[in-house]
Amino acid sequence: MRRPHLITGLVTAALLLPALASSAAPPLRGEVVLLKRSISPQEIDKRLKRFVPARLGVSASAMPNDVKAMLPHLRKAADRIDRTYWDQVSSGGWDMRVALRRTARFAKTQQAEHFARFMEIHYGPWDRHADDAPFLGRLPRPPGANYYPLDISKREIDNWVAKHPESAAGLYSPYAVVRRTRKGLHTVAYSTAYAKRLGEAATALQAAAAAYKCVEPQPPTVVPSPPQPAKASRRSKRKRSAAPAAPVTPPPPRCRCAPLADFLRARAKSFSDDSYLTSEILWLESRDCPLDIAIGPYEYYEDRLLGLKTSFEAIIYLRDDTESARFRRFLKHYDGMVANLPIPATLRPRFQTIAPSPITIGNVLYTAGDARSGYQIRAFVLPNDESVRRARGTKNVILKNVVKAKFDAVARPVARRIFAPKLYNKVSFEAYYDILMAWQFAHGVVPGTIQLPGGKRTSARQLLQARYTLMELVMGESIALLNYTWLRDKGELRKHSDEGVAATFLASFFDSARLGASAPQTIAKAIIYNYLAQEWVFRYNASKRTFEVNAPNLGKAVRKLTAEVLDIVARGDYEGAGRLILQFGILPGEVRSKLGELDDLPVGILPDYNSMPAE
């Protein structure tokens, strides 16, 4: 028997309320019943307090004049993307949030207000920091979020594709949702499923492009002086005098943000036709404008059924040219870092090296959708389309103001709790920041196509399905540590001891582990922790209730893990990925016990975007 539609459990009561259709004070019975089936008001208050307010943005004087007029339009586009993301991850969640807000307003009750605020953090009724356990109502989170019918299974999809192979392209498309009718499964393109919000976002992007005004000085028109007449000879006097040279006016240089405007117009079109290749390339070509925005369907984390559907997000940031210049010199080591990867010669042809891209350091101005849900994004490498990466590379961006806010609010207090004072003193923001920087170069290779026994070619993502996301995360984290030691040994990074690096990484692991044991980031870091603990890099001292590190084993152990994961990805080894996840992907008892001692510490930040004008 199929499970009732999630909207029944969450919002039927809300939809029956007359207040949703009128301005009169509503009867609150529906919401009250739902709230009684949820966690206690005291518990929701406790969880809310674990998010620390953080002001993110830049000073008014730091904002370039030529892009100021674009900001309200970009924010409007991001807000429409945010609303689209709600529809992707929580069927009926937005309606329940609206109902709770109205209940809070009419009944003057903090309980409904706090539940609505917590929903806004997690984009639905499931706590992303508590293994997606429901905090409002009792229905569990569907593995496929709202990309698929809520009661569907992977087996149903596989059986349908086996009988209807012509439907595979649509069902597996990253830009289409799957729905079920009496006739069976069918797909609806994102541009149709989310037409209203994407149309509004497209209009806002076009307005932002039109709002850009170039204020850069144009070079003066070059008009060469006419040649001075020379003393004419008798012979030359008989010739007709040469006409003076025509004035030469070179074309004015393109304004620095014109390529960004081109991208905005192209991305607006992508929202209507689901074709993202052109706009992805234009985004990669827009590198001179100090203002930038990543906006679109990028990440695969929310699809835990097949790992194929993308979720929408938006990240608006301002580039820090001074800080970015510090990292440009690392590009000369790019080939060396790729060559340093432990890939056997027989498997190297299965990977393709992507074009190196400089690291950009920016300060976030505004985020929306997947970039803001539960865990504020601190860095990204986009786009995720592997064909674009192979052809044009990526943008590697670290959002330094977010990194600093999260380290101070979350990572440092955790480190103080899990380490003895001597080891805690070796944890530093500089090491935290440098490891993140090395992670940006961890995407230097991507798996190529894989030829199956029958001759058909496919991708590692298709073969590994939902497990690909986990392998990609493990691969990125382990390669980051390899890159870090490589750059440090070359003298390009600040000298941090291996002990300090291992301790800082372990503190970062606990930060991620608090997302909940079922979160992809937590499972990936659990694999790394357990693998390195097996190699005696990390150890728990039960008598002191603290964690210790054995730094000399770090390099060899990380190299061994990286080699194993690269082998799995290169072969598209679904069973091998499963064995690695099963053996190492569960948080061990000592970690779970310690996590229980961290309940009173912050788990994240609540951004206050003080530099973004409202629409």
Residue-wise pLDDT for 568-596, tens only, equals 999 999 999 999 999 999 999 999 999 99
Between 509 and 491, the more confident residue is: 509
pLDDT, residue 492, reads 81
Distance (Å) of CA 153 to CA 102, 306, 309, 457: 36, 10, 15, 26
pLDDT, residue 7, reads 37
Residue-wise pLDDT for 251-283, tens only, equals 445 689 999 999 999 999 999 999 999 999 999
234 burial via Cβ count (<10 Å: 0-12, 13-18, 19+): exposed
Which residues, other chains included, contact 429 with Cβ-Cβ below 8 Å and sequence gap of 6+?
404, 407, 408, 412
pLDDT, residue 22, reads 34
Residue-wise pLDDT for 62-106, tens only, equals 999 999 999 999 999 999 999 999 999 999 999 999 999 988 887
Would you say residue 224 has pLDDT above 70?
A: no
% residues pLDDT > 90 (the chain): 63
What value does the CA radius of gyration of the chain take, rounded to a whole number of Å? 27
- The angle that helices 574-584 and 466-489 make with each other, rounded to 10 degrees, is 70
Strand partners, 134: 126
Mark out the alpha helices in 108-212 (DSSP H runs). 110-122, 154-163, 168-171, 190-193, 195-211
Domain boundaries, the chain: 1-17+28-48+91-124, 258-609
Between 52 and 329, the more confident residue is: 52
Q: For the residues of 461-475, what is the DSSP string, one character each? A: HHHHTHHHHHHHHHH
Q: What is the mean pLDDT of residues 359-385?
A: 94
Q: What is the mean pLDDT of residues 19-41?
A: 52
Pair of tokens at residue 530:
């357990």
Would you say residue 371 has pLDDT above 90?
A: yes
From 375, 613, 401, 383, select the one nearest 514 (Cα to Cα).
375
Greatest Cα-to-Cα distance within the chain, rounded to the nearest angstrom: 111
DSSP 362: E
Would you say residue 241 has pLDDT above 80?
A: no
Q: How far apart are CA 452 and CA 382, in angstroms?
A: 28
pLDDT tier, 33 (very low <50, low <70, confident <90, very high otherwise): low
Cβ(367)–Cβ(313) under 8 Å? yes
pLDDT, residue 238, reads 45
pLDDT tier, 3 (very low <50, low <70, confident <90, very high otherwise): very low
- Core vs surface per residue 305-344: b (16+ CB within 10 A) or e: bbbbbbbbbbbbbbbbeeebeebeebeebbeebbebbbbe
Q: For the residues of 291-306, what is the DSSP string, one character each? A: EEEEEEEEE-TT--SS
Residue owning tokens 């000073």 = 59
pLDDT tier, 496 (very low <50, low <70, confident <90, very high otherwise): confident
Most confident of 183-192, 325-334, 547-556: 183-192
Would you say residue 217 has pLDDT above 60?
A: no
- The angle that helices 93-107 and 29-36 make with each other, rounded to 10 degrees, is 110
Residue-wise pLDDT for 556-575, tens only, equals 999 999 999 999 999 999 99
Would you say residue 230 has pLDDT above 60?
A: no
pLDDT, residue 245, reads 52
Would you say residue 473 has pLDDT above 80?
A: yes
Distance (Å) of CA 475 to CA 307, 341, 362, 468: 16, 11, 25, 10
pLDDT tier, 37 (very low <50, low <70, confident <90, very high otherwise): low
Residue-wise pLDDT for 537-556, tens only, equals 999 999 999 999 998 999 99
Cβ(558)–Cβ(500) under 8 Å? no
Q: Is 367 helix (H, G, I), strand (E, B) or coil?
A: strand
Q: E strand or H helix at 608, and its extent?
A: strand 604-609
Tally DSSP H helices, then E strands, for the chain.
27, 17
Between 514 and 297, the more confident residue is: 297
Residue-wise pLDDT for 105-150, tens only, equals 877 778 899 999 999 999 999 999 888 999 998 899 999 999 999 9
596 burial via Cβ count (<10 Å: 0-12, 13-18, 19+): exposed
pLDDT, residue 531, reads 97
Cβ(3)–Cβ(10) under 8 Å? no
As a whole number, the mean pLDDT across the chain is 86
DSSP 410: I
Q: In this predicted structure, which of 144-148, 194-198, 285-289 has the lowest mean pLDDT?
A: 285-289
pLDDT, residue 355, reads 73
How would you classify the pairing of strands 351-353 and 445-447? antiparallel
CATH of 258-609, one of 3.40.50.1110, 3.30.540.30, 2.60.120.10, 3.30.390.10: 3.30.540.30
